[in-house]
Chains A and B, each alone.
Chain A
Amino acid sequence: MGLSAVKQKDESQRITPPGFANQRQEIDVKGSTRLNMLVGLALRGLALQFRIRPSLRKHLKGVDGWINFSLGLCTEAGNVEQYITFADGRISVSTKRPAHVDVTITAIDDQILKEIGSKPPNEVLVRALHNKINFDGNLAYMQLFNYLVSLVTGGLQQRMVDKAHKADVCQRKAAYQINDPGLAQEVRQRRHYRMKGGVNEDPGVKHLDDSYLSQFVLEDFPRLKRFIDRYLSVRPEVDPERITLLTDWYREHGWEKDNAGQDWFPPLRNSLAFRHMMEKKQPIINDQDLIAGTTGSKEITTHVFGDGQGTMLWAELNSMEKRVLNAYTCSRDTAATLHHDIFPFWADKTFREYVRREFDNPHCQKIDDRWVAYYVWKSTGVSHTIPNFKTLLEKGINGIKKDVLQRSNDAGIRDEQRQTLTAMTEVLDGTLAYAVNLSAEASRQAQDCIDVERKAELEELGRICAKVPAQPADTLAEALNAIYIIWVALNNENSDTGLSLGRLDQWLQPYFKRDMSRLSTNSEKEAYIKKAVELVGCFAMRLTDHVPITPDIANYLFGGATSTQAITLGGVTPQGDDAVNDMTYIFLKVAEMLRLRDTNYNCRYHPEVNSDNYLKRMCEVNIIAQATPIMNSDPAMFKALAQHGYPMEDIRDWAATGCVEPTLQGKHFSHTGSILLNMVASLEMALNNGYHPLMRWQAGPQTGSIEAGDFKTFEAFFEAWASQQRFIIDQACTLNNMLGQAHQQIRPTPLLSVLIDGNIENAADALHGGSKYNSSGTSNIGLADVIDSMLVIKVLVFDEKKFSFKALKNAIDNDFEGHAKLHAMVMNKVPKFGSGNAEAREMAARVTEVVHDAYMSTEHYRGGRYAAGFWSMSQHVAYGGLSGTLPSGRLRGKAFTPGLTPHPNASNSLTDNLMDVAALDPKNLDNNLAFNVKLTPGADDTREKAVGTMAAYVKSYMQQGGMQVQFNVVSSETLKDAVANPENYRDLLVRISGYNAYYVDLNRDIQTELIERAEYQL
Chain B
Amino acid sequence: MKDSPLILEIKGNSLDDGPGIRTVVFFKGCPLDCSWCHNPESKTCQVELSYDAKQCIGCGACVDSCPQGAISKNHRFFVDRRVCQLCFTCADNCPSGAMSKAGRQIDMNDLLTQVMRDKPFYLTSGGGVTLSGGEPTLHMDFLSELLRHLHQNDVHTLLETCGHFNFNQFEQKLSPYIDTIYMDLKLFDPGEHEAHCGVGNQLILENFERLLELSRSGMFELLPRTPLVPGITDKKENLGAIAGFLKAHGVQQAKLLSYNPTWHAKVSMMGKDNPLADQAEMNAWMSTEDIQNCKDIFHHNGIEV
Contacts and interface: CB of A to CB of B under 8 A. Distances in A.
Interface in B59-83: 59, 61
A752 B80 CA distance: 76
Contacts of B21: 911, 949, 952-953
B119 to A, nearest CB: 9
B124 A955 contact: yes
Nearest to A615: B124
A960 B95 contact: no
Contact of B59 (A821, A914, A1018): A821
A825 B98 CA distance: 11
Given A820-B59, A909-B12, A912-B12, A829 B95 contact: yes
Contacts of B20: 949, 952
Given A828-B97, A953-B21, 18 more contacts: A821-B59, A824-B95, A836-B117, A908-B12, A908-B13, A909-B13, A909-B118, A911-B118, A915-B118, A949-B15, A949-B20, A949-B21, A952-B20, A952-B127, A955-B124, A956-B121, A956-B124, A959-B120
Interface string B271-287: 00000000000000000
The residue in A827, A828, A907 that gathers the most chain B C-beta atoms within 10 A of its C-beta is A828
Contacts of A952: 20-21, 121, 124-127
Contacts of B118: 909, 911, 915
A960 B59 contact: no
Interface of B: 11-13, 15, 20-21, 57, 59, 61, 95-97, 117-118, 120-121, 123-127
A956 B12 CA distance: 15
Interface string A849-877: 00000000000000000000000000000
Contacts of A836: 117
Interface string A952-995: 11011001100000000000000000000000000000000000
Interface string A893-916: 000000000000001111110110
A484 B110 CA distance: 59
A822 interface: yes
Residue of B15, B59, B117, B123 with most partner-chain A CB within 10 A: B15
B123 A824 contact: no
Nearest to A821: B59
A774 B227 CA distance: 64
Given A821-B61, A956-B123, A915 B13 contact: no
A1016 B15 CA distance: 10
Contact of A949 (B96, B97, B117, B125): B125
A951 interface: yes
A1017 interface: yes
Closest 8 CB pairs of A and B: A952-B125, A909-B12, A824-B95, A909-B13, A956-B120, A952-B124, A824-B96, A825-B95
7 contacts: A821-B95, A827-B96, A836-B117, A907-B12, A911-B121, A952-B124, A956-B121
B124 A915 contact: no
Nearest to A910: B13
Contacts of A912: 12-13
A915 B125 contact: no
* Interface residue SS majority, chain B: loop
A949 B126 CA distance: 9
Nearest to B13: A909
A836 B23 CA distance: 14
Nearest to B120: A956
A944 to B, nearest CB: 12
Contacts, number: 66
A1018 B13 CA distance: 10
Interface string A784-825: 000000000000000000000000000000000000111011
A948 interface: yes
A907 B96 CA distance: 16
Interface in A919-961: 938, 948-949, 951-953, 955-956, 959-960
Contacts of B95: 821-822, 824-825, 828-829
A401 B57 CA distance: 73
Nearest to B9: A908
A741 B297 CA distance: 79
A820 B58 CA distance: 9
A929 B76 CA distance: 51
A853 B288 CA distance: 58
Nearest to B20: A952
A915 B11 contact: no
Interface in A453-504: none
A908 to B, nearest CB: 7
Nearest to A915: B117
Nearest to B15: A1017
A828 B96 CA distance: 6
B46 to A, nearest CB: 25
A878 B257 CA distance: 46
Contacts of A1018: 15
Given A828-B97, A909-B12, A953 B59 contact: no
A825 B118 CA distance: 28
B57 A911 contact: no
Contacts of B59: 820-821, 824
Nearest to B118: A911
Contacts of B117: 836, 911, 915
A32 to B, nearest CB: 44
Interface centre among A821, A825, A938, A1017 (most CB of B within 10 A): A821
Q: Counting chain A CB atoms within 10 Å of each CB, which of B11, B118, B123 scores highest?
A: B118
Contacts of B97: 828
A912 B10 CA distance: 12
Most chain B Cβ neighbours within 10 Å, of A820, A822, A1016: A820
A70 B295 CA distance: 81
Contacts of A1017: 15
A828 B95 CA distance: 7
Interface centre among A908, A911, A938 (most CB of B within 10 A): A911
A558 to B, nearest CB: 33
A949 B127 CA distance: 10
B11 A908 contact: yes
Contact of B13 (A822, A911, A938): A911
A472 B11 CA distance: 59
Contacts of B121: 911, 914, 952-953, 956
Nearest to B58: A820
B96 A951 contact: no
Nearest to B14: A909
A911 B119 CA distance: 10
Contacts of A909: 11-13, 118
A907 B11 CA distance: 10
